[in-house]
Every structure is written in C-alpha cells, then in structure tokens.
Amino acid sequence: MRLPRFVVTAGPTREHLDPVRFLSNPSTGKMGFAVAAEAAGRGCETILVSGPVALKTPAGVKRVDVVSAREMCAAVKEAVKGAPAVLVATAAVADWRPAECAGRKLKKREMSGTLRLVRNPDILKTVKGVRKIGFAAETGAPEREAARKCREKKLEFVVANDVTEKGAGFGCDTNRVKFVFPDGGVREFPLMSKRLVARRIVDEVLRA
C-alpha cells in the first residue's frame, strides 16, 4: 500500500498591522511538530507548514516557514500537489486580519483606536482533493463545534480539546483529546503526551 504524503500545519499565524504589531495567539506548534515527527517516522513523506515557532524541525521532515494565514494557505496548496495527500491542520490560524498593513511603524497619533478587520481564507475549505483532518481547540465541551466543522468542511475527523482543562491548553506537552467523526461518533482519550496523541492521529489516518 502506498503511504500518503502528510502535509501538517502547525503553530500560529501573525496578521500584521504594521512591521512591529500583529494579531496572533499562544500556539507553540508542539502538536503539529509531533504529528509531523510521527508521520515521518512511519516512512511517510512529510511536509510541515509552520507559523512562527521556536521548535527544531523533526528528522525526515521538509519544513516550510510562513507568517500569515494567506501565506500558509498558499504553501499548503503547493504542498499537496503531485501525490495522494492527507492534510492534518493543527495550526491555530487567525480567522481575521487587519484590512490594511502599514509599511512602517504607525505612530500613536496616527491610530484611531478602531481596527477594521477582514476575514482570512479557511484553509480546510479552500484546499480540495485531499483527505483532511481538522482540530477544534475550544473552551468548554468541544464536541458540538467539532461535529459542525467535520460536516461543513468534509473532514474525516476532528481532534477536539478543551483548552481550559489542566494539561490540555496551549504550550503544554500533554493533551486530552476526542476524535469526532462525521456520523456523530466520538472516541475519547485520557490525558497523554502530545507525541502519543500524534501516534493515535497517524494510526487513524493510516487505518482508513
């Protein structure tokens, strides 16, 4: 059986207002890097599209560094070309970006206090012709939102977690996740290392 190419997104995106200010989130990329390491360790061609993080590239992984959501979307489209691929979208992509980005640092007197935003592309909806796995990092019970994403974005499953739970938030080395499937099925896992979560994700992908 031919192994699929894994394209993994990781980390945050930064949406700049000017060269020194941006909108972002606390994602460290640990989950995505763990998935990429696991896939490469199984012998899969693996491309890691990463936002700005302070992590070393896993062995055997081709890494593409990006900053913004639009850059990440373009890099993913390029990465899935030419081979049966599965997209594992762990990145915490900014849903919105400033409508304008100044070419120089804005002075306080030039800023009105109101920031106009425009929506970023939804990478999972935009990328076609590949198998897709999503993530849902929520506050509170994540199953309903994960099920919605699974149906609307035509995903094989969504890895859902509650970021307010101890040991399962941004920056942790552990996570407690649930796999949510399009038919409403849910598979729940105990708190475990992100590397072990990555193993479960790759197991599920290669089982299909």
Q: Is 104 a domain residue?
A: no
Q: Which residue segment(s) compose the domain that 17 sits in?
A: 5-99+114-207
| pLDDT per position as a tens digit, 166-189 | 999 899 999 999 999 998 899 999
Q: Is 56 a domain residue?
A: yes
Q: Is 109 a domain residue?
A: no
Q: Which DSSP state fits 12?
A: B
Residue 40 CA to residue 31 CA, distance in Å, equals 14
Number of domains in the chain: 1
| pLDDT per position as a tens digit, 38-78 | 999 999 999 999 999 999 999 999 999 999 999 999 999 99
And the tokens for 190?
Answer: 């105990």
Q: Rounded to two decimals, what is the model's pTM?
A: 0.95
Q: Is 47 a domain residue?
A: yes
Q: Is 108 a domain residue?
A: no
Per-residue confidence band for 108, with pLDDT thresholds at 50, 70 and 90: confident
Q: Is 46 a domain residue?
A: yes
Tell me the percentage of the chain whose pLDDT exceeds 90.
88
CATH number, position 150: 3.40.50.10300
The residue with tokens 């849903």 is 95
| pLDDT per position as a tens digit, 67-94 | 999 999 999 999 999 999 999 999 999 9
C-beta contacts of 44-48 below 8 A and 24+ residues apart: 44/3, 44/4, 44/5, 44/6, 44/202, 45/3, 45/5, 45/6, 45/83, 46/5, 46/6, 46/7, 46/8, 47/5, 47/6, 47/7, 47/8, 47/79, 48/8, 48/10
Residue type, 186: V
1: pLDDT strictly greater than 80? no
Per-residue confidence band for 208, with pLDDT thresholds at 50, 70 and 90: confident
- Catalytic residue ranges: 25
CB 80 within 8 A of CB 129: yes
Q: Is 106 a domain residue?
A: no
Q: Is 143 a domain residue?
A: yes
